[in-house]
Amino acid sequence: MPREISVSEIAKELNISATTVSRALSGKGRVGEETKEKILQYIGEHDYVPHVRPEGYAQKDTRNICVTLPGENDFAELPYFHQIMLSIEDYFGSHDYNIIPVKCKATDISLLQKVIQKHKADGVILTRTIENGIDIRYLQEQGVPFVVVGSYDDDSVYQVDVDQQNGCRELTNILLRKGLRKIALFCADATHIVTQSRYRGFLEACQENDLAVNKKYVFDEVGYPEVAARALEDCLKDQIECIICMDDNICVNVLNRLRAENVAVPRDIRIASYYNSSLLDIYYPPITALEFNTKELGRVASKMLYDLLCNKEPVRKQKLGYQVILKESTK
């Protein structure tokens, strides 16, 4: 008996986008004959019955783009997401599109679902990626064109990211080669793909310098001030030489707490961040950090989605560069 299969399952198996599969099965929109034949052959060989929406999602034209932002606390207000949003607005504004921002949590994408169910947007840009993300799975199942800012372990997903792993590896290497050995890492949510990528870079650098990682000094969820305070107390008690912060928000929490405790940087402890932003500009001494072009992330993601909407095939995975900026905080 034929088994029903979803558009997203076919897309993942054949390493093509869910939108392309949806177009091929609905007969609406341009799809190369070779690709269409590949899809139909796969379905026939496995005795599948494709489960598709009655009408291809991408065939309606709203001139709206949906952009998802973090729904937890006030994280959506951080410079990283603000800069990406401005870049997306600039790009699509020049093509006569409007932007619909919605907030999503790891376990709650109801606002995104409302936009898609009512077909209020032609495509979606996700500004973060979470392990086994329900937002990505939902968009794949619905056959909605989308691009993610970040990395995702699915070759069928269109994505653009900074080379996070190598950037963090390079910055950590520099610190270790300064002779710093007692290093603490202050992490964000471990389910976030960017956290995992940056952590791998940290581990690689430690391995290259024959430094065993002491898990006691790898702290999670330090994006919240109260968690940062407890972690910092442990580090100061154990005379940690350097704290590496996963991002600018974590770094701000650490710097504020150090100031309250009258701990001097870099005299008493050194500080570095795996992401630099305007949040760190007000602090003295200036902070050693990894720097990359956030606006370019938004622009590239926008161009990728626009190409998809125009029935063009963009490069599926794109990686942007970075700079390591050494400043007084790690002298």
Q: Which domains does the chain have, with CATH numbers?
A: 3-51 (1.10.260), 58-162+294-321 (3.40.50.2300), 164-292+325-330 (3.40.50.2300)
List the single range of 35-49, 161-175, 314-328 with lowest mean pLDDT: 35-49
Question: Which alpha helices (H) appear in the chain, and where do they start and end?
Answer: 7-14, 18-26, 33-45, 79-93, 110-117, 134-142, 164-176, 193-208, 225-237, 248-260, 294-309
261-270 mean pLDDT: 96
Taking the C-alpha atoms of residue 193 and residue 164, their distance in angstroms, rounded to an integer, is: 10
117-162: pLDDT as tens digits: 999 999 999 999 999 999 999 999 999 999 999 999 998 999 999 9
Residue 45, pLDDT score: 80
The torsion region of residue 320 among left (phi > 0), alpha (psi -120 to 50) and beta comes to: beta
42-48 mean pLDDT: 77
Torsion of CA 284, 246, 167, 320, to 10 degrees: -100
pTM of the predicted model, to two decimals? 0.82
Residue 83, pLDDT score: 96
Please determine, for residue 26, whether its predicted confidence score (pLDDT) is greater than 80: no
158-184: pLDDT as tens digits: 999 999 999 999 999 999 999 999 999
List the single range of 47-61, 128-142, 230-244, 306-320 with lowest mean pLDDT: 47-61
Please determine, for residue 303, whether its predicted confidence score (pLDDT) is greater than 80: yes
Taking the C-alpha atoms of residue 207 and residue 140, their distance in angstroms, rounded to an integer, is: 38
Helix (H) or strand (E) holding 4: strand 3-6
- Distances from the Cα of 217 to the Cαs of 39, 103, 174, 177, in angstroms? 49, 32, 19, 19
In the sheet that holds 218-219, the strands lie side by side as: 218-219, 183-186, 242-245, 270-273, 288-291, 323-325
Q: Are the beta carbons of 84 and 294 closer than 8 angstroms?
A: yes
**Position 57 confidence tier, pLDDT thresholds 50, 70, 90:** low
Residue 54, pLDDT score: 40
In sequence order, the β-bridge partners of residue 13 are none
DSSP state for residue 264 in the 8-state scheme: -
Taking the C-alpha atoms of residue 83 and residue 36, their distance in angstroms, rounded to an integer, is: 38
Return the structure tokens found at 229. Answer: 């305070």
Question: What is the number of alpha carbons within 13 Å of residue 228 lying toward its C-beta?
Answer: 26
285-291 mean pLDDT: 97
Question: Which alpha helices (H) appear in 177-268, and where do they start and end?
Answer: 193-208, 225-237, 248-260
Taking the C-alpha atoms of residue 88 and residue 94, their distance in angstroms, rounded to an integer, is: 10
Q: Are the beta carbons of 85 and 77 closer than 8 angstroms?
A: no
SS3 label, residue 157: coil
Return the structure tokens found at 69. Answer: 């932002």
Residue 55, pLDDT score: 47
Contacts for 299 with CB less than 8 Å, ≥ 6 apart: 87, 90, 91
DSSP state for residue 284 in the 8-state scheme: S
268-281: pLDDT as tens digits: 999 999 999 999 99
Helix (H) or strand (E) holding 320: strand 317-320
Question: Which alpha helices (H) appear in 152-218, and where do they start and end?
Answer: 164-176, 193-208
Taking the C-alpha atoms of residue 289 and residue 319, their distance in angstroms, rounded to an integer, is: 19
Taking the C-alpha atoms of residue 291 and residue 277, their distance in angstroms, rounded to an integer, is: 8
